[in-house]
A and B are shown apart, each in its own frame.
Chain A
Amino acid sequence: MTAGPASSNVLEVSDLRVEISTRRGVVHAVDGVSLEVPRGEAVGLVGESGSGKSMTLKAILGVLPPEAKVRAGQIVLDGVDLVPLPTSALNRIRGPKLSMIFQEPMSALNPVMRVGWQIAEGPRVHLGYSRSKAAERAVELMRRVGIPDAERRFRAYPHEFSGGMRQRVMIAIALSCDPEVILCDEPTTALDVTIQDQILRLLHRLCKESGVSLLFVTHDLPVVAQLCQSVAVMYGGQIVEQGAVEQVFAQPCHPYTLGLLRSAPDVEQVRASLVPIPGSPPSLISPPAGCRFHPRCGFAELDCTEQMPELRLLPAGRSTRCLHYERCLEPLTAEGAAR
């Protein structure tokens, strides 16, 4: 983790635990997650579906589904802990300080409300703008996110837009009150590859221009490489590795990260063989004893099954949960040599 003064982090999550009560038992969706998002930076949160990454975002914003509850931990935004806040107080933070972009822009936009007014709603509610002033701001935002013919499209409905355009609308909504952090829940997953690229470039540009921080959740590694400065890898509801993007991707310190990199098709460099990670994600109701990844891990040893490994600090601001992380470096070297 970056060891800087606390004020350089706009968002700090400490030991967050989220539980979901289901008929079959309690699901530990988020099991002791700690994150830091420095000002002006984009932090990636990577993992398979079911790893708890979406739940983490929803917990931060306070929009968890009713069956899910935050059991422990702190979420400190600009010095204020969000966990104990009542909804009314949270509503004042959502928009001006914190906002979110969702995966499915079609279902995430109100189908019966004109797009411009959906963008304008934030400024009207939080910044006290009049109708005309809010409308102006909405048009301005639409131009900023690259929606052509903004003044006319203001009055359009969501179903009149294409997927990529709708996502731009979502981004405009997220920006509307000048937040400090934007939480991104797989915003590019549902889009075509070419549109994905456009949206990522847009986010990158906005990040640079306005200094807003991003917490970017995805299962898509190249996306993280393109956009983020640091990355955290989640597995089984826990963070298993953290560090700067270039370093983690060049030299992963956890077998799971290693597996992800090997199984991800790389557009720039066609791998000789794609190697999927064998096995399936762990049950979050009764996870395996010891390290949660050990049933699928090629490097597993006896001590991996005995105790849950802690997240350990490594040099250069990295951390890992693997007891035998050095093993990760070996195959990559051999592979590199083979190429």
Chain B
Amino acid sequence: MTFVVRRLLLLIPVAIGVTIIVFFMIHLIPGDPARTILGIHATPKAIAILHQEWGLNRPLASQYWLFLDRLLHGNLGTSLFYGQSAASLIAGRLAPTIWLIVYAAVLAIAVSVPLAMIAASRKDGIRDQLVRAVPLFGLGMPPFWVGLLLQYALALSLHAFPVTGYGTGFVGHLHSMFLPSLTVAIGLSPVVIRSLRASMLNVLGADYITTARSKGVPNGRLFVRHVLRNAVIPAVTVLGINIGFLIGSTLIVENVFAIPGIGSLMIQSIFNRDFPVVQGVTLVFGVMVVLVNLLTDVTYASLDPRVRFDR
């Protein structure tokens, strides 16, 4: 438990840094941010109101303080486009994105683990070479392109899945979200396969596997309780490192498949020049990554008993 608390404390500076960057986004805008955001048709009155609301007249530090204060009260600003609170807007669209992330992670693992096992079981064999070729092609595939192709092949042609949308009810979600989640999973898999394969090879060559074989442990039990159980540990770390990519690709994939999540909200808000919402979603994404990293660390510690005792 102290491990978790310690990790949480280490996150605080990072969390603060995240807020600082998000806060600074406004000041990267060339010229007067309010005018640029509102566009050429902005009235001086509208600009003045925005100045007031964002405290653009005040010194930088006090602006940041205002920003942080609002943040801690759950206030992410008001959407310029929708007129409602950005926080409630985001909260309302959070569920589909979470669905996408979890579903994609599950699919990625379901695809990667067997492939890595096949590759590692006979190193440098034909199957291994084939599996190792996957990242070479996979890493160069734009996620939105993969999504479009999947739409074409499985939705438009075969009508096996809906082309777009989130669906209703749990089963509806499973059905509608399959193609988008698969798209994200395909993007993630090359990296996961690579590292899982490497860590499996590492484990397979370890002395304790020879010990287990010398005990006469049958192959099935050997693979699960000895090889896999040890190989997942570094793989969890790699998955955690790449979770940023996973979360980030929701942005584009939600767009392609018209999923009402915060990713597509961000894209729409960009075209609506709805700065508060863009800022708010960026912040939420940052927080998500930080939390997921915490989750990864905790999972790693629960899987590897050596870590708990050293720290």
Contact = CB atoms under 8 A, between A and B. Distances in A.
Contact of B230 (A87, A99, A111, A126): A111
Contacts of A111: 208, 230, 304-306
Nearest to B205: A65
Interface in B281-311: 303-306, 309
A178 B218 CA distance: 19
Contacts of B41: none
A327 interface: no
Interface stretch (A101-109, A136-144, A305-313): A101-109
B305 A94 contact: no
A247 to B, nearest CB: 32
B217 A125 contact: yes
B309 A110 contact: no
A125 B305 contact: no
Contact of B207 (A104, A121, A122): A104
Given A112-B229, A112-B303, A159-B306, A94 B216 contact: yes
B88 interface: no
Interface string A82-113: 00000110111111100110101001111111
Contacts of B214: 61, 63, 94, 99-100
Interface stretch (B31-39, B52-60, B219-227): B219-227
A160 interface: yes
Contacts of B221: 125
Contacts of A88: 218
A35 B216 CA distance: 23
Nearest to B310: A159
A122 B213 contact: no
B215 interface: yes
A159 to B, nearest CB: 5
Contacts of A145: none
A157 interface: yes
B233 interface: yes
A230 to B, nearest CB: 24
Given A92-B216, A125-B218, A109 B305 contact: no
Contact of B211 (A96, A108, A112, A126): A108
Contacts of A30: none
Interface residues of A, number: 31
Interface residues of B, number: 24
A126 B229 contact: no
Nearest to B229: A112
B95 to A, nearest CB: 35
A221 B218 CA distance: 36
Given A112-B303, A113-B229, A125 B208 contact: no
Contacts of A126: 216
A209 to B, nearest CB: 22
A110 B215 contact: no
A10 interface: no
A3 B15 CA distance: 79
B202 interface: no
Given A122-B216, A125-B217, A107 B304 contact: no
A177 to B, nearest CB: 8
Nearest to A61: B214
B207 A91 contact: no
A137 to B, nearest CB: 14
Given A102-B207, A112-B304, A121 B230 contact: no
Contacts of A45: none
A105 B214 CA distance: 14
A334 to B, nearest CB: 46
A76 B230 CA distance: 35
Given A157-B306, A159-B306, A173-B211, A112 B230 contact: yes
A94 B211 contact: no
Contacts of B46: none
B210 interface: yes
Contacts of A107: 206-208
Given A107-B207, A107-B208, A112 B305 contact: yes
B231 to A, nearest CB: 11
A173 B267 CA distance: 60
B257 to A, nearest CB: 39
B135 to A, nearest CB: 25
A111 B208 CA distance: 8
B29 interface: no
Contacts of B230: 110-112
A237 to B, nearest CB: 21
Given A111-B230, A113-B225, A125 B207 contact: no
B212 interface: yes
Contact of A91 (B217, B225, B303, B305): B217
B215 A160 contact: no
Contact of A110 (B208, B218, B219, B303): B208
A91 B213 CA distance: 8
Contacts of B211: 100, 102, 108-110, 170, 173
Nearest to A87: B219
Interface of A: 61, 63, 87-88, 90-96, 99-100, 102, 104, 107-113, 121-122, 125-126, 157, 159-160, 170, 173
17 contacts: A63-B213, A90-B216, A91-B217, A95-B215, A100-B214, A102-B211, A108-B208, A108-B210, A109-B208, A110-B212, A111-B304, A112-B229, A112-B305, A113-B225, A121-B212, A122-B215, A159-B306
Given A87-B219, A88-B218, 16 more contacts: A61-B214, A63-B214, A93-B216, A94-B213, A100-B214, A102-B207, A107-B207, A108-B207, A108-B208, A109-B211, A110-B230, A112-B229, A112-B303, A125-B215, A125-B216, A125-B217
Interface of B: 206-208, 210-219, 221, 225-226, 229-230, 233, 303-306, 309
7 nearest A-B residue pairs (beta carbon) = A94-B216, A95-B216, A107-B207, A91-B216, A108-B207, A100-B214, A110-B208
